[in-house]
Chain A
Amino acid sequence: MTMSRRKFLALSAAAAALPGVAGLAGCGAPDHSAGIGYWSAFASQQQRDYFQRARVDAFPGPGRVELTVKPTASIDQLTQTALAAGTGPDLVQTDGPAQVAAYQAAGYLHSLEDYAHTYQWDRVLAPWALAASRINGQLVSLPADYETMILLYNPATLHEHGWPVPRDGATFEAICTEAKARGMLPVAAGNADWRAASEWWVTMALNHHAGPEAVYQALRGRLPWTDPVFVDAISTLSGYYQAGWWGGSVEDYFTNSFPQMYTALAAGDAAVMITGSWASTEIEPYFGEAAGNTATWDWAPLFPLRAGVPDLVWDLGIGRTLSINAHTDKPDETAAYLNFLESDPRRQAEGVAEVGMQPAPLELTAADFPPGTGDRQVRLYTELSNAATIGYTTWTFFPQQTDTELSTNFDKVFTGLLSPADYLAGLDATFREELRRGAVPTAPAPNGIAS
């Protein structure tokens, strides 16, 4: 076959243009597939299979759910990009209220106020969780799961060294001093796998040293973050790091991975571990028959680090939120699915029992859990459901920019590159700006009641 040069050029240009035209055709088109589109990420294949079976296939309708699994590390950016392009799933997942605020400001989310009334979510969800889900007075997301900070320990290790489970700062510091002298890791900790992990311990210092009331007042803009009560808290935590209590040494803290820390706890090389309740699932493979040892673990609530702070403060956090895409063509079906996911305590408890999923913040009782559920899990979530005094996890109640700065710059404090006062002054300036912009999530009072 022969082809003229003119024809060749025309065909070449058309061929080159085709991918562009095809690409442009897809731009701006919302994901109007047949089912309710939902993107999620899972910690394990077991969780994924369970979710598909119990929370996707089991949805009675109206409509059906099309679950798309995304990588945990990139689901936020994929969702963000899709929403910015005017597309994305019908049910939008975020990693917390701070991100919800940004999405709401951009107009990506559908209001849930009418659906909250229809489905009476105020009767099933914890008041603090609903309060934290309101941005500028508007409900645009529901918490998909919640978490708290806890102390993990190996009972045999504490028993061997004659240490009690710490209930106050003095006991905790005595254990750390002694453990360090014996060449152990006082607190199994590190941020090699997740640089932002430092904020977990800043959360601890703020709520259990400065106290939840001070944090609440600061979040409302009534107390500056430069107040001495916060400087003391950050200085104390920084001192713990510099004493080599966190991860063994300042240097090792930066290279310790989570598996190493769980292994150290199981082997009796670490005295305790302070982490989030999500670790109660992650820790299982390192203990008992599965790990080839006889070690066991247990948990305890965090304790006050100084006198004057309430004995029992539950630092509450929202790990994931769910919202309805403003561009969806099936908001009612998506709201029905959201209600299906959020409203049944037994379904939440079953997820905890079967695959260690974090539950939504509903009131859970022991009767909600299926027979055979581990005592540690039942105790954790029933006690948490009855929390009288709450604390504020930084990843839930702090605005995005302040939160990132809080975790990134704290590493400079205990390495001696930044003083606690300068650290908090920078944080305060960033927070004030975000407060002015209305980007700070609503914080309920420490008694858990919205105000």
Chain B
Amino acid sequence: MSSGVASRLGRRRALVGWAFMAPLVAVNALVVLGPSLAAVYFSLTDWSGLGAAHWVGLRNYRELAGDPDFGAALWHNILWTAFFLVVPMAMGLFGAFALTRIRRGRLLLRVVYFVPYIVASVVTSAIWKNLLSPQLGIGKVLHVNVLGNIHLALPAVEIVNNWAWWGFLVVVFLAAMRDVNPHLYEAAALDGAGTFGQFWHVTLPSIRPTFLFLGLMTIIWSFLSFDYVYVLTQGGPAGSTDLLSTLLYRDAFGELRAGYASAIGVVMALISAVVVIGYLAVRKRKDWTV
């Protein structure tokens, strides 16, 4: 085949590829890129969400820096992220590893773990709101009002969200663990490794790409959490469960400060971007693949 023909074929293939991609790129530009650029623009204005927007430069960002509500919400988000990086990840890992060690009932347990994940968050929240009620549920038995306590409300909402979330991690980790070469376990056993040793020295290193990817996504998703907080506490009591997302919602629709809310959104996006860039840099340096 001459180089000219090969070049034409290459161009044709690229063209066909782009033709298939074009609708997706168009939709993406319309519903992702466009609104994203608009959010950056509006974050530099005093837009109320209605009518015209006026340019204010970096004023919204300067105000964010001194806003105690923003500082509190950011701190709550950091606590939220730390919780979800540790508790459900650990539960998911150990749950999945335990499932690899049993044969009977494995499918049933996978379903049981996974079901809370597919229940609508509003439904889950409503159920837990009653369960934690100081008049009706666990709160009455234990004489503690967790959703009314400014120190306990955030951990309580995290636990409710985790109840629905960790089963999903079990299923994903289990899928990754089933791809681990069984000979590695045999070799580890011959070397005297017990169950925990096998988990630590064989399972964890073998599923590292999945583990890291879910860690990355956990950080990103944590900064997008909204539904459980909104239904269970609406950011209360006294702002003790406010996350950046609930603060953004209140600023945009409650106070009609869409420009300021856009600035919060841009900061949230920047945090996620920093996490992704950091992850990609580490992955490249360590030559990890996902």
B-contacting residues of A (Cβ < 8 Å)? Answer: 5, 9, 12-13, 16-17, 20, 76-77, 80, 83-84, 99, 102-103, 105-108, 191, 195, 249-255, 260, 400-401, 404-405, 408, 411-412, 415, 417
Query: Which residues of B have CB within 8 Å of A103?
Result: 50
Query: Which residues of B have CB within 8 Å of A12?
Result: 19-20, 23
Query: Which residues of A have CB within 8 Å of B257?
Result: 401
Q: Select the residue from B23, B50, B135, B149 with max chain A CB neighbours within 10 A.
A: B50
Flag if B23 contacts A16 (CB, 8 Å): yes
Flag if A400 contacts B256 (CB, 8 Å): yes
Taking a contact as CB atoms closer than 8 A, the residue among B20, B30, B148 that contacts A20 in the complex is: B30
CA distance A83 to B48 in the complex (A): 13
CA distance A102 to B23 in the complex (A): 38
Flag if B134 contacts A106 (CB, 8 Å): no
Taking a contact as CB atoms closer than 8 A, the residue among B23, B49, B238, B254 that contacts A411 in the complex is: B238
Known: A12-B23, A84-B50, A251-B145. 8 other contacts (CB 8 A): A9-B16, A80-B253, A195-B234, A249-B145, A250-B148, A254-B233, A411-B236, A411-B237
CA distance A400 to B258 in the complex (A): 13
**Min C-beta distance of A439 to chain B, whole Å:** 9
Residue B38 lies at the interface, judged by CB distance under 8 Å to chain A: no
Flag if A254 contacts B148 (CB, 8 Å): yes
CA distance A254 to B129 in the complex (A): 12
Flag if A107 contacts B26 (CB, 8 Å): no
**Binary CB contact string for chain B from 130 to 162 against chain A (1 if under 8 A, 0 otherwise):** 000111000100000101111000000000000
CA distance A56 to B70 in the complex (A): 46
Residues A255 and B150 in contact in the complex (CB < 8 Å), given A13-B19, A20-B26, A195-B235: no
**Binary CB contact string for chain B from 30 to 60 against chain A (1 if under 8 A, 0 otherwise):** 1000000000000000001111100000000
CA distance A412 to B255 in the complex (A): 18
Residues A255 and B256 in contact in the complex (CB < 8 Å), given A12-B23, A83-B50: no
Interface SS, A side: helix
Query: Which residues of A have CB within 8 Å of B110?
Result: none
Residues A108 and B238 in contact in the complex (CB < 8 Å), given A20-B30, A77-B253: no
Residue B175 lies at the interface, judged by CB distance under 8 Å to chain A: no
Query: Which residues of B have CB within 8 Å of A255?
Result: 133-135, 139, 145, 147-148
CA distance A253 to B149 in the complex (A): 10
Query: Which residues of A have CB within 8 Å of B22?
Result: 13, 16
**What count of chain B residues pass the 8 Å CB interface test?**
35
Query: Which residues of A have CB within 8 Å of B23?
Result: 12-13, 16-17
**Binary CB contact string for chain B from 241 to 263 against chain A (1 if under 8 A, 0 otherwise):** 00000000010011111000000
Taking a contact as CB atoms closer than 8 A, the residue among B19, B134, B145, B255 that contacts A9 in the complex is: B19
Residues A415 and B48 in contact in the complex (CB < 8 Å), given A20-B26, A255-B145: no
- Name the residue of chain B whose CB is nearest to the CB of A414: B238
CA distance A264 to B147 in the complex (A): 20
**Min C-beta distance of B234 to chain A, whole Å:** 5
Flag if A415 contacts B238 (CB, 8 Å): yes
Residue B87 lies at the interface, judged by CB distance under 8 Å to chain A: no
CA distance A250 to B151 in the complex (A): 13
CA distance A197 to B57 in the complex (A): 35
CA distance A13 to B254 in the complex (A): 41
Flag if B145 contacts A252 (CB, 8 Å): yes
Residues A106 and B48 in contact in the complex (CB < 8 Å), given A77-B253, A254-B237: yes
Residues A105 and B51 in contact in the complex (CB < 8 Å), given A13-B22, A16-B27, A411-B237: yes
Q: Select the residue from A99, A251, A260 with max chain B CB neighbours within 10 A.
A: A251
**Min C-beta distance of A277 to chain B, whole Å:** 24
CA distance A84 to B53 in the complex (A): 12
- Can you give 24 contacting A-B residue pairs, CB < 8 Å? A9-B16, A9-B19, A13-B23, A16-B27, A80-B50, A84-B49, A99-B256, A106-B52, A108-B50, A195-B235, A250-B148, A251-B237, A252-B148, A253-B148, A254-B236, A255-B133, A255-B148, A260-B135, A401-B256, A404-B250, A404-B255, A405-B255, A408-B239, A411-B236
